[in-house]
Homo-oligomer: A and B are copies of this chain.
Amino acid sequence: MTIPTKITNQTFLQAARGEVTDHVPVWFMRQAGRSQPEYREIKAKYSLFEITHQPELCAYVTALPVNNYGVDAAVLYKDIMTPLHGIGVDVTIETGIGPVIKSPIKTRQDIDALGSLDPQRDIPYVLDTIKLLTAEMLTVPLIGFSGAPYTLASYLIEGGPSKTHLKTKSFMYQHEDEWHLLMDKLADMVIVYLKAQIEAGVSAVQLFDSWIGDVSLIDYNRYIAPGIKKILAALEDSTAIKIMHGVHATHLLQEWNEMPLDVIGMDWRMSMAAARKQGITKAIQGNMDPAYLTAPWPVLEQELNRVLADGTTAPGYIFNLGHGVFPEANPAVIKQVTAHVQAYKSQNS
């Protein structure tokens, strides 16, 4: 992968590599879509799948926050279910529920029936969207992403979102061999998916393991880590930045710090300075509670300054939220937060 020459703002990439930057770079998970009026107009006419399958439209949605907010990175507008279609999973996104899987995984046969992903054949529109964005539209890096195997498996086994993930864990404990087979197949899919995104032009990839915080450290190392390590090993030769993000995952930070990845995403439950003191040496991305975007400006500003001071005790800091932007967030506030972060002067700089 070569970084497209159009990237004039490299701040995000520099921070991700642990380098000193002239300002704190900022992007927001779920910055594309949901809270933006331009997006809502599009969404009134097209379904999520219709948007993601039309490269011009999807590229427009992805670029919106860069143009409107002035963030330092774009993130591909895409649902984490996208690659599952390619391997033969019948998944729909239902309003007010989320992803719904028609035939949840119950047996080894169901796992054997999963196909392998051929990005050119199965999801050419993703690659075309990336090419459009990186060749023409963006002057900031584009971040691609994939759901991680545990989170994808939880949807496949539960059949949709779940508060407890009990079926997933029961399957894991009751059918360990089948579980590892499923993790391995999903890891292979994620590798192909992320390599294709990198080949098409993204400068960074983020593994979203949204539900991994529900798994204990012991279970993580036994049931989950092998798949993650396989993915990261397959990407090790790439110069693309690798970001790992989980929610409620404070107990996994040390494990991630030992893995071949560049950036650890943290949620708001733990102080980033405390993580540094406990030996976290990777770049850190985080960690304001997205609920603060609904706070009055003086309260929000105080929290922003606290988060910024907490994050900048060492080089390699990227401002983000601890989880995605809520649809309720005001775009004017997101823009104001972006400017505030970029104007912040660290006590240590």
Contacts and interface: CB of A to CB of B under 8 A. Distances in A.
Interface of A: 163-166, 169-170, 173-174, 176, 213, 216-219, 248, 250-251, 268-271, 289, 291-292, 294-296, 299-300, 303, 306, 326, 328
A270 B299 contact: no
A309 to B, nearest CB: 12
12 contacts: A164-B291, A169-B289, A169-B291, A170-B295, A173-B294, A173-B295, A174-B295, A176-B299, A217-B270, A218-B306, A250-B251, A251-B270
A213 B269 contact: yes
B173 A299 contact: yes
Given A213-B269, A269-B216, A169 B248 contact: no
Contacts of A169: 289, 291-292, 294
B270 A170 contact: no
Q: Is the interface of A mostly helix, strand, loop or mixed?
A: helix
A173 B296 contact: yes
A198 B216 CA distance: 35
Contacts of A268: 216
Contacts of A163: 163
A267 to B, nearest CB: 9
Contact of A289 (B219, B289, B299, B328): B219
Contacts of A251: 250, 269-270
Contact of A291 (B170, B250, B299, B326): B170
Contacts of A213: 248, 269
A33 to B, nearest CB: 17
Of A216, A250, A306, chain B has the most CB atoms within 10 Å of the CB of: A216
Nearest to A173: B295
Given A251-B250, A294-B170, A269 B299 contact: no
Contacts of A165: 291
Contacts of A176: 299
A294 B166 contact: yes
A217 B271 contact: yes
A217 to B, nearest CB: 7
